[in-house]
Amino acid sequence: MQQVPAVPGAAALPATPRRRGTLSYMQKRNLWGLLFVLPAMIFFAVFAIYPILRTFYLSFFEFSVVDPPRYVGLDNFRGLDGDPRFRASLINSFKYVFSTYIPVWIIALILAMALNTKIRARGLFRTVYFIPVVMSWVVVAAIWKLIFNRQGLMNTLFLDPLGISPKNWLTDVNWAPDAIVIMSVWKEVGFFMVVFLAGLQAIPSDLYEAARVDGSNGWQVFANITIPLLRPTLLFVSVISMITGLQVFVPQWVMTQGGPVDATLVMSLNIYQTAFVFLDGGKAAAMSVVLFFIIGAITLVQFWLARTRD
Amino acid sequence: MATTTEPEISAQPRVSVPASQPAYRHRRRFNWGHLGLYAGLILFGILILMPFAYMLSTALKSRGEVFSKPIKWIPAELQWNNFSDALSQYSMGHYFMNSIIVAVAVTFLNLATCSLAGYGFAKFDYPGRNLMFGIVLATMMIPLASMIIPLFMVVKSFGWVDSYWGLIIPAGTSAFGIFLMRQQMSAIPDDLLNAARIDGASEPRIFLSMVLPNSKTALSSLAIFIFMWNWDSVLWPLLVATGDKYRTLPLGVALFESSYGTNYPQLMAVAFLAMVPVLVVFLVLQRNFIEAMTMQSIKG
């Protein structure tokens, strides 16, 4: 990327004599490059860069769809400090990320290791596990809403035989977050399994050979070869989990609308509701800024970790 | 970890190519050590598929049968009319068409903008190139929710609320797509491009006839990725498609759910119909699909 394009064939090109005020051949050609980049840059300017800058600006105003904006300084941010919904959404989002993705990583890694052997029908298993990944969240949520019905599959097929009394999964403050986590684990495991599988397949098999010759046991191989060599994959997996998990919206929106009693209110859902249901644009903008910085900080930390090691 | 070596246990089937064997071709017999592995994998497969079976089974039940105890996986009488009713009474076909139109348009728009920009970043040098590329990468970490209020205002000021434009244009390019295309196009030899230049080909012509055909893999991956990502998008259509006319399929399913949520057989029929097209495409193209959806990991 840093190399100045040396253009191996440049010498063979017709050497146009350069006159003052006109563009050289190379400059003209590079102008095409700028032209090629332009459409995408216009899209970014209008639909990403302007909106995010505008969000920062609007976070200093009080406004709704009907009233004209009024400058309030940092009031919106001060307001967040004691705001129970904001607090709940912040906690719920992080809880969602950890309680969903840690099981997802563990299950996905186990499945990937199982499929990284010489068993048959690996492709079939991989395809089956991947099916939920390609399903629409809305469709998935519709199915799981039925599963979590008081008389649904979860209670009758799993809890009943164990003698556990049926739960009101989606209307009980204690169980609604878990219900969504269970659904998300089911949906996401296939994706991470494939990512882990790609990482595992990149580990040279002679390393395992050598370890076996040295008489290492399964755990030693796992802890000293698999995990260290999987580090780039693990890093990617943690970044993508944090970034997508903290932005989660659809499962909570479809399953519970953030309820019961804000138990499943996550940040994106809170921003959406604050802005477009409660019409408090300034507060929603302030929340957006906070979300932006949280995700930005996490991304930078991950990049920094990636750069300092290897 | 620090324990003494346990040779018996370490005979792990995980990497079971015997060192003395010449090559991999030797495994023919069924490995009984793998039996537990199969059992676990099949059990997990059942857990993955069970919700789908439950959906299909419920979609074919009458309303009274949904919660019969014990669970009836095969209904007494198959209620196929749930499917026809779902299609005829609620405009699912209409929402489906909207989703197709929007997702296809967004995909083509992205293929165009991302391949052009990828080429512009990969093979040319001009002031501000690296800065612009840095900005493109930085936009990847902006959460949609963080910019959604002004984005909505922009689209509203263009008069695009409740129109295909509003659903399509804001999704017209993607930082990840540009990154991907740039990676692929950097690998095209400069000599090839220069040879075409010497032959007098114009820059747009080189792009169309040399660069694009050499980037087919990345283009098809990008197409699948963008299509899927857009097919599933909810938050943005929820704001922009305010009326019934431009409502997309996910919104249609969600609306059906909030309006007739207790009519589980029909809800499951609707969900099933919404799922089938994607499922079929996935099963046909599954290798490309899995590559496309996980390719971010290659260059994480």
A239 interfaces chain B, CB cutoff of 8 Å: yes
| Gap from B132 CA to chain A (nearest CA, Å) | 8
In chain A, positions 157-196, which contact chain B (CB-CB < 8 Å)? 157, 186, 190-191, 194-195
Q: Hey, CA dihedral for B86, B91, B92, B93, is it positive or negative?
A: positive
Alpha-carbon span B143 to A287, nearest angstrom: 12
CB contact under 8 A, B143 and A268: yes
Domain boundary among B79, B107, B138: B79
- Tally Cβ neighbours within 10 Å of residue A53: 12
- In this structure, are B101 and B60 located in the same domain? no
> Residue B173's closest chain A neighbor by CA?
A40
Using alpha carbons, select from A35, A46, A32, A31 the residue that is nearest to residue B113.
A35
Residues B45 and B191 in one domain: no
A268 Cβ under 8 Å from any chain B Cβ: yes
Q: Is residue B95 domain-shared with residue B231, that is, in the same domain?
A: yes
- For residue A17, tell me if it sits in a domain: no
Buried-state track B235-269, b at ≥16 Cβ within 10 A, e below 16 = bbbbbbbeeeebbbbbbbbbbbbeeeeebbbbbbb
- Cross-chain residue pair A138–B274, CB shorter than 8 Å: yes
- Are B99 and B75 found together in one domain? no
Q: Is residue A69 part of a domain?
A: no
- How many structural domains comprise chain A? 1
Question: Stretch A49-55: mean pLDDT, rounded?
Answer: 92
Residue B266 lies in a domain: yes
Domain membership of residue A89 as a residue range: 77-308
Q: Nearest-CA residue of chain B relative to A242?
A: B141
Report the pLDDT averaged over residues A287-297. 92
For residues A286 and A4, the model is more confident at A286
Q: Looking at beta carbons, which residues of chain B come within 8 Å of A97?
A: none
Contact of B243 with B91, CB cutoff 8 Å: no
Per-residue pLDDT at A125: 92
Chain A positions touching B13 (Cβ under 8 A) are 117
ipTM: 0.82
Q: Is residue A283 part of a domain?
A: yes
Q: Tell me: do B52 and B175 sit in the same domain.
A: no
The answer to whether the Cβ–Cβ distance between A139 and B19 falls below 8 Å is no
Query: Does residue A68 lie in a domain region?
Result: no
> Is B4 part of a structural domain of the chain?
no
Domain membership flag for residue B85: no
Q: Which residue of B has its CA nearest to A298?
A: B141
Interface size, chain A vs chain B, as Cβ–Cβ contacts under 8 Å: 345
- The kind and range of the H/E element at A189 are helix A176-201
Give domain status of residue B19, yes or no: no
Q: Same domain for B151 and B273?
A: yes
Instruction: Determine contact: A227 vs chain B, CB below 8 A.
Output: no
Domain that holds residue B45: 32-79
pLDDT value at residue B6: 38
Residue by residue, DSSP assigns A45-92 as IIIIIHHHHHHHHHTTEE--SSSPPEE-TTHHHHHHHT-HHHHHHHHH
**Rounded Cα distance, B90 and B44, in Å:** 36
Q: Is residue B12 part of a domain?
A: no
In a domain, A32, yes or no: no
Residue A225's pLDDT is what? 86
Task: Give the pairing of strands A61-62 and A70-71.
Answer: antiparallel
Provide the pLDDT for residue A19.
Answer: 56
Portion of chain A with pLDDT greater than 70, in percent: 91
Q: Which of A148, A134, A137, A96 is nearest to A253 (CA)?
A: A137
Block means of pLDDT (10 residues each) for chain B, length 300 residues?
38 43 51 82 94 92 80 82 82 88 95 96 92 90 87 93 94 92 90 92 93 90 87 90 90 86 85 87 82 61
Query: pLDDT digit string (tens) for A8-31?
Result: 444 444 455 555 667 788 888 889
pLDDT given for residue B228 in this prediction: 85
The CATH number of whichever domain residue A181 belongs to comes to 1.10.3720.10
Cis peptide bond prior to B18, omega within 30° of 0: no
Whether B223 is in a domain gets the answer: yes
Looking at the structure, do residues B148 and B293 belong to the same domain, yes or no?
A: yes
CA distance B173 to chain A (A): 6
Contacts of B108 in chain A (CB under 8 A): none
Query: Residue A58: phi, psi to the nearest 5?
Result: -65, -20
**Chain-wide mean pLDDT for chain A?**
86
Query: Do B147 and B230 belong together in one domain?
Result: yes
Mind telling me how many Å the CA of B249 is from chain A's nearest CA?
9
Is the link from the previous residue into B70 a cis peptide, with omega within 30 of 0? yes
The pLDDT of residue A300 is above 80: yes
CA distance A212 to chain B (A): 7
- B189 & B46 share domain: no
Is residue A237 scored above 60 in pLDDT? yes
Question: Which residues in chain A are closer than 8 Å to B253, comparing Cβ atoms?
Answer: 136, 138-139, 142
What pLDDT shows up at residue B183? 87
Question: What are B218-275's pLDDT values in tens digits?
Answer: 898 899 889 888 888 898 999 999 888 999 999 988 888 888 877 888 889 988 988 8
Determine the Cα–Cα distance for residues A16 and A10; give it in Å rounded to an integer: 12
B234 and B95, same structural domain? yes
Shared domain for B38 and B142, answered yes or no, is no
**Residue B84 domain-assigned?**
no
pLDDT band at A84 (very low <50, low <70, confident <90, very high): very high
Do B145 and B230 belong to one domain? yes
How many domains, in total, are found in chain B? 2
Q: A231-246 and A84-115 are packed helices; what angle lies between their axes, rounded to 10 degrees?
A: 150
User: In this structure, what CATH number is given to the domain that contains residue B104?
Assistant: 1.10.3720.10
pLDDT of residue B211: 93
pTM of the model: 0.84
Chain B residue closest in CA terms to A8: B191
Residues in chain A closer than 8 A to B67 (CB atoms): 149, 151-152
- A61-75, A195-209, B8-22 — most confident range: A195-209
In angstroms, the first-to-last Cα distance of chain A is 19
Can you tell me the distance from the alpha carbon of B122 to that of B132, in angstroms, rounded to the nearest whole number? 12
Q: Which residue is associated with the tokens 């080429």?
A: B119
Please report where in the chains the tokens 């979860």 appear, as a residue. Answer: A154
pLDDT value of residue A233: 86
Interface test with B, best of A28, A32, A153, A227 (most B CBs within 10 A): A32
Backbone angles phi, psi at A7, to 5 degrees: 50, 85
How far is the C-alpha of A111 from the C-alpha of A105, rounded, in Å?
10
Query: What's the DSSP call for residue A156?
Result: I
* CA separation for the pair B58, B63 (Å, rounded): 9
DSSP string, B12-79: -STT---TTSSSGGG--S--GGGHHHHHHHHHHHHHHHHHHHHHHHHHTS-GGGTT-SS--SS-SS--
List pLDDT tens digits, range A146-183. Answer: 999 888 888 888 888 888 888 888 889 999 999 999 99
B94 in a domain, yes or no? yes
* Axis crossing angle, helix B92-123 with helix B264-284, rounded to the nearest 10: 30
Does residue A242 form part of some domain?
Answer: yes
Separation of alpha carbons A272 and A279, rounded Å: 9
Residue A194 counted as domain residue: yes
Looking at the domain assignment, is residue A4 inside a domain?
A: no
What count of other Cβ atoms lies within 10 Å of the Cβ of residue B180? Answer: 25
